[in-house]
Amino acid sequence: MNKENVIVIGAGPCGLAAGIALQKQGYDPLLIEKKNVVHAISHYPLHQTFFSSSEKLEIGDFPFPSIERKPKRHEALVYYRQVAAKSGLRIQSYEQVERVEKTSGHFILETQPWNKPKQLYHAAKIIVATGYFDHPNIMNIPGEDYPHVFHYFRESHPYFQQRVTVIGGKNSAVDTALALESAGALVTVLYRGNEFSKAVKPWILPDFYSLVRHEKVDMVYEADVTEITPADVWYEKNGQSFHVPSDFVFAMTGYHPDHSFLQNMGVEVELDTGRPVYNPRTMETNQPGIYIAGVLAAGNDANEIFIENGRHHGERIASSIKTSR
């Protein structure tokens, strides 16, 4: 069995930051990542620009140079790869943590590497920094699992002159609609609210509203989507049923953390908020020895914690672990 002092589950920006913070306290943590470093960022749209400036995305005192004040996706990927390499962190990629069990004051982790037999690890402390991007919010309507329905958006070119319906009213939905329209798609946006979320980036809304006014995007508010068929998206509004002919559908309905993974470790999760029970001063959960870092701490409200504030969780955790030693 592999014995470790501290294991970090997840190698996104906040997991990397936690690992570096532990290094500064004299630890040599092991990071286990089911894909590769900053996997979620690699799945952002190819044109994605970050909300935050580059200095607010920096971790471990490694400077983040970028061409413009707010870096793009590919710049962030280069930066975090360089940080992972230069920091000397031990990172095991493509290894899924399947089970965590507490025994005699320590933890046993069972993992499944993609190309090896299952592995067992013994750890004194665990930091969970798994993010939320792998778990889209499902609408649970007929047809949502059709192959022309997506919960992630990568690029717009394949949808040139195609009828595309975007479902949602937050940043990802607006960004997706703008990118699709610019590539010549025929775009309809359906949103159950009567106005866009307050969390939408204010600098992109004027462009979107302009497209709606000029009838280049069809916007439908208070639309309750009820079914997706191979050719249409059906919705109800004001007690009436309507349908939109659709070749492709992007259900940009948001994402959520893997609550069951935490609960199976004994971590309590608030039912109404999805927020794990933890001490904000140390980031330690109700299960002694299990810490959380990054957006997991926000529960279902992914707009509360970003890289720029979640990157500091590792410093609190490392200080707590050092003190407890």
Average pLDDT over residues 64-92: 95
Where a domain ends, among 251, 276, 296?
251
Q: Which 3 state secondary structure label does DSSP give 103?
A: strand
Confidence of residue 51 (pLDDT cuts 50, 70, 90): confident
Which DSSP symbol is given to 273? T
Q: What is the C-alpha to C-alpha distance for residues 253 and 201, in angstroms, rounded to an integer?
A: 16
Q: What is the C-alpha to C-alpha distance for residues 45 and 28, in angstroms, rounded to an integer?
A: 34
Average pLDDT over residues 12-39: 97
Q: What is the pLDDT of residues 217-258, one digit of tens each?
A: 999 999 999 999 999 999 999 999 999 999 999 999 988 888
271 within some domain: yes
Q: What is the C-alpha to C-alpha distance for residues 4 and 126, in angstroms, rounded to an integer?
A: 10
Residue 319 exposed, middle or buried by CB count within 10 Å (0-12, 13-18, 19+):
middle
Q: Is the pLDDT of residue 162 over 90?
A: yes
Same domain, 72 and 47: yes
Question: How distant is the alpha carbon of residue 310 from its chain centre?
Answer: 12
Same domain, 212 and 232: yes
Q: What is the C-alpha to C-alpha distance for residues 49 and 147, in angstroms, rounded to an integer?
A: 28
Where a domain ends, among 230, 251, 272?
251
Q: What phi, psi does 185 have (nearest 5°)?
A: -75, 155
Same domain, 185 and 126: no
Q: Residue 183: its pLDDT value, please?
A: 97
Q: Residue 180: its pLDDT value, please?
A: 97
Answer whether 180's CB lies under 8 Å from 164's CB. yes
Q: What is the C-alpha to C-alpha distance for residues 114 and 121, in angstroms, rounded to an integer?
A: 16
Same domain, 125 and 65: yes
Confidence of residue 30 (pLDDT cuts 50, 70, 90): very high
Q: What is the pLDDT of residues 202-220, one digit of tens each?
A: 888 899 999 999 999 999 9
Domain total in the chain = 2
Same domain, 207 and 192: yes
Where a domain ends, among 202, 229, 251?
251
Confidence of residue 298 (pLDDT cuts 50, 70, 90): confident
Q: Residue 257: its pLDDT value, please?
A: 85
Q: Which 3 state secondary structure label does DSSP give 224?
A: strand
Residue 219: both structure tokens together:
């916007």
Q: Residue 306: its pLDDT value, please?
A: 78
Strand partners, 231: none
* Average pLDDT over the chain, rounded to an integer: 94
Q: Which residue has the higher pLDDT, 271 or 20?
A: 20
Same domain, 31 and 77: yes
Q: What is the pLDDT of residues 172-184, one digit of tens each?
A: 999 999 999 999 9
140 within some domain: no
181 within some domain: yes
Average pLDDT over residues 51-79: 93
143 within some domain: no
**H-helix segments, the chain:** 13-24, 39-42, 73-87, 171-182, 205-213, 259-263, 307-310, 313-324
Q: Residue 148: its pLDDT value, please?
A: 98
Residues 6+ apart with CB under 8 A from 217: 177, 181, 187, 188, 189, 208, 211
Q: Residue 200: its pLDDT value, please?
A: 81
How are the residues of the chain apportioned to helix, strand and coil, as percentages rounded to the nearest 5? 25, 30, 45
Q: Residue 245: its pLDDT value, please?
A: 98
- Tell me the CATH number at 222: 3.50.50.60
Q: Residue 5: its pLDDT value, please?
A: 96
Answer whether 94's CB lies under 8 Å from 34's CB. yes
Range of the domain at 71: 2-135+255-324
Q: Residue 196: its pLDDT value, please?
A: 84
Same domain, 208 and 304: no
82 within some domain: yes
The 10 Å Cβ neighbour count of residue 295 is 28
DSSP output for 176-218? HHHHHHHTT-EEEEE-SSSS--TTS-TTTHHHHHHHHHTTSEE
Same domain, 122 and 52: yes
Q: What is the pLDDT of residues 110-119, one digit of tens each?
A: 999 999 999 9
pTM of the model: 0.91
Q: Residue 105: its pLDDT value, please?
A: 80
Q: Residue 1: its pLDDT value, please?
A: 74
Residues 6+ apart with CB under 8 A from 213: none
Q: Residue 133: its pLDDT value, please?
A: 84
Residue 218: both structure tokens together:
């069809």
**How many helices (H) and strands (E) are present in the chain, helices listed first?**
8, 15
Q: What is the pLDDT of residues 300-314, one digit of tens each?
A: 877 677 788 899 999
58 within some domain: yes
Q: Residue 227: its pLDDT value, please?
A: 98
Q: Is the pLDDT of residue 108 over 90?
A: yes
141 within some domain: no
Same domain, 268 and 227: no
Q: What is the C-alpha to C-alpha distance for residues 282 and 181, in angstroms, rounded to an integer?
A: 46
70 within some domain: yes
Same domain, 123 and 262: yes
Same domain, 275 and 288: yes
